[in-house]
């Protein structure tokens, strides 16, 4: 039964839906000329939706008889998702302009994807989970092939679609098994049913469910699509893929693991530990040989997801808080790094993607080079940059949860990852200059870049706030 409290609890989604539909009509009737306006209105819609998160939490935590959860956890994840989505919209126009014209469908698709992501992180039921996931994915498939005249982009979209559908199928199969063996699709119901021992059927369902989720967050061994899609998709879309959907998938995985599969903690812990370490190592090793910066970022995201999963592997409130903090810091680093990558344009303004073209950037574009170096050192986890703190939190949670060996192994593997980040800094700072880039970046790019760099450099001052918010988010799940 639909009551007003439930509707208010999904207010952010309602706002995004209304905004998305209206803007789609504007785009359809107004044509490509409206792109600029639609962009800003889409950002505005995301901002309003972001503000309305507090209303939704006030009317939470349960809505629609537990189908949807509006708690501190979903609020934390949604704020991140909306912020990342807005950044992905703001960074796009300049990229699309170099290739001809802007298209207003881009922000609209991101809005629709954001609705799906919002539903993912506030799912309280396997069905909400699936609907949210598909909503996000469908928009993402279209986004990946957005440059339809570009062969690489179409290929990326198709690959993403085929593999994504497979993953959805696996996930759906897992959901069906869980439903069959527990008799319910509600997360808390599943947890109750698993409370008196985990049957084989439930175990299979859980494994399939987790496999589907691992695909969505591109964790090893379900990561294969990531490099191709990252490379083929238009760079603003890659920015988006690298940030918001990762948070949504991670948020969803955390919620499912804790709320629905909590009693099977010891079973999924092994899976998560394997996936985490495999992602860290593969992401680090495979990135070393890359020559395309976007492919490198794809492996970097696999690597980072592995670190974030260490927090989940702890299964403790501190671990969940660490995972969510990790994602928050990761999103800032990713958006900052992509804001740098988007500025990689040759003298005629065409985008370039090869790492070699960065050679000697520090002599032609000092500011850009410094920002790039900050994000790379930060991703490598070198203090005093904020990326170190993200890793610190997950390892600290692992040590507190008596997973010292996991922490030691993970942190040792992070040194492998440091190598390829250093390689980029080496290219920028040590190598002889290559052909110069365009003399200066766009204003919006520079603002976003600077904001991210400031957060990464002075992030430690945010620690008390981040600790409090992420702890509250984690507490909502236990």
Shortest distance in whole angstroms from residue 269 CB to other proteins: 19
The set of residues, in sequence order, having a beta carbon less than 8 Å from that of 83 and lying 6+ positions away, is 46, 50, 331
Shortest distance in whole angstroms from residue 453 CB to other proteins: 13
Specify the residue, 176 or 400, whose C-beta has the smaller distance to other proteins.
400
Ordered DSSP codes for 299-333: HHHHHHHHHHHHHHHH-SHHHHHHHHHHHHHHHHH
Specify the residue, 131 or 422, whose C-beta has the smaller distance to other proteins.
422
* Contacts to other proteins by CB under 8 A: 362-363, 377, 382-384, 388, 392, 395-396, 399-400, 404, 407-408, 411-412, 414-415, 418-419, 422, 425-426, 429-430, 460-461, 463-464, 466-467
Residue with tokens 């994602």: 327
Shortest distance in whole angstroms from residue 330 CB to other proteins: 18
CB atoms within 10 A of CB 468: 11
Specify the residue, 412 or 447, whose C-beta has the smaller distance to other proteins.
412
**Burial class (CB within 10 angstroms; exposed 0-12, middle 13-18, buried 19+) of 366:** exposed
Shortest distance in whole angstroms from residue 466 CB to other proteins: 7
Shortest distance in whole angstroms from residue 430 CB to other proteins: 4
Shortest distance in whole angstroms from residue 319 CB to other proteins: 13
Specify the residue, 132 or 387, whose C-beta has the smaller distance to other proteins.
387
Of 188, 203, 178, nearest to 65 by C-alpha is 188
Specify the residue, 204 or 429, whose C-beta has the smaller distance to other proteins.
429
**Which long-range contacts does 467-470 make (Cβ < 8 Å, 24+ apart)?**
467/321, 467/325, 469/72, 469/76, 470/76, 470/321, 470/322, 470/324, 470/325, 470/328
Specify the residue, 7 or 462, whose C-beta has the smaller distance to other proteins.
462
**Burial class (CB within 10 angstroms; exposed 0-12, middle 13-18, buried 19+) of 118:** buried
Instruction: Give the CA count within 13 Å in the CB-facing half-sphere of 369.
Output: 21
Shortest distance in whole angstroms from residue 231 CB to other proteins: 26
Shortest distance in whole angstroms from residue 386 CB to other proteins: 11
Distances (CA, A) of 154 to 92, 215, 228, 294: 18, 20, 11, 16
Token readout for 327 is 């994602």
Give the distance from CA 346 to its chain's centroid.
29
Specify the residue, 382 or 472, whose C-beta has the smaller distance to other proteins.
382
Distances (CA, A) of 330 to 35, 81, 84, 145: 29, 12, 11, 25
Specify the residue, 222 or 388, whose C-beta has the smaller distance to other proteins.
388
Specify the residue, 96 or 377, whose C-beta has the smaller distance to other proteins.
377
The set of residues, in sequence order, having a beta carbon less than 8 Å from that of 189 and lying 6+ positions away, is 182, 183
Shortest distance in whole angstroms from residue 370 CB to other proteins: 8
Shortest distance in whole angstroms from residue 257 CB to other proteins: 23
Specify the residue, 222 or 420, whose C-beta has the smaller distance to other proteins.
420
């Amino acid at each position: 039964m639909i009551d007003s409290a439930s509707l208010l609890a999904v207010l952010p989604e309602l706002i995004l839906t209304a905004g998305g539909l209206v803007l789609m009509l504007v785009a359809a009737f107004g044509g490509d000329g409206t792109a600029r306006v639609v962009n800003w209105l889409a950002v505005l819609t995301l901002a309003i939706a972001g503000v309305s998160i507090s209303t939704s939490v006030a009317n939470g935590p349960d809505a629609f008889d537990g189908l949807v959860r509006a708690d501190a956890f979903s609020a934390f994840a949604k704020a991140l998702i909306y912020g990342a989505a807005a950044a992905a919209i703001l960074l796009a126009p300049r990229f699309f302009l170099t290739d001809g014209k802007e298209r207003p469908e881009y922000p609209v698709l991101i809005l629709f994807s954001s609705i799906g992501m919002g539903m993912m992180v506030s799912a309280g039921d396997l069905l909400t989970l699936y609907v949210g996931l598909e909503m996000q994915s469908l928009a993402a498939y279209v986004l990946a092939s957005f440059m339809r005249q570009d062969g690489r982009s179409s290929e990326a979209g198709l690959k993403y679609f085929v593999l994504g559908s497979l993953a959805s199928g696996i996930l759906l199969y897992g959901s069906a098994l869980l439903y069959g063996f527990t008799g319910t699709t509600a997360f808390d119901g599943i947890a109750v049913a698993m409370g008196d021992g985990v049957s084989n059927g439930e175990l299979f369902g859980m494994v399939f469910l987790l496999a589907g989720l691992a695909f969505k967050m591109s964790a090893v061994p379900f990561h294969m699509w990531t490099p191709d899609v990252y490379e083929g998709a238009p760079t603003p879309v890659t920015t988006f893929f690298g940030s918001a959907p990762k948070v949504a998938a991670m948020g969803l995985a955390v919620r499912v693991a804790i709320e629905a599969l909590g009693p099977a903690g010891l079973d999924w812990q092994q899976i998560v530990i394997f996936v985490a370490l495999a992602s860290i190592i593969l992401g680090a090793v495979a990135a070393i040989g890359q020559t395309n910066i976007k492919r490198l970022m794809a492996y970097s995201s696999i690597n980072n997801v592995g670190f974030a999963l260490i927090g989940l592997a702890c299964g403790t409130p501190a671990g969940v808080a660490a995972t969510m903090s990790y994602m928050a810091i990761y999103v800032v680093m990713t958006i900052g790094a992509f804001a740098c990558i988007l500025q990689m344009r040759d003298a005629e303004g065409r985008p370039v993607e090869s790492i070699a073209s960065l050679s000697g950037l520090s002599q032609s574009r000092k500011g850009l080079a410094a920002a790039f170096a900050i994000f790379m050192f930060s991703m490598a986890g070198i203090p005093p940059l904020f990326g170190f703190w993200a890793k610190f939190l997950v390892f600290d949670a692992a040590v507190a949860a008596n997973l010292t060996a996991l922490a030691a192994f993970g942190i040792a593997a992070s040194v492998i990852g440091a190598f390829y980040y250093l390689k980029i800094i080496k290219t920028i700072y040590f190598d002889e200059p290559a052909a110069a880039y365009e003399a200066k970046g766009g204003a919006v790019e520079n603002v976003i870049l600077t904001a991210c760099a400031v957060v990464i450099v002075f992030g430690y001052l945010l620690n008390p706030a981040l600790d409090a918010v992420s702890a509250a988010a984690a507490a909502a799940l236990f």
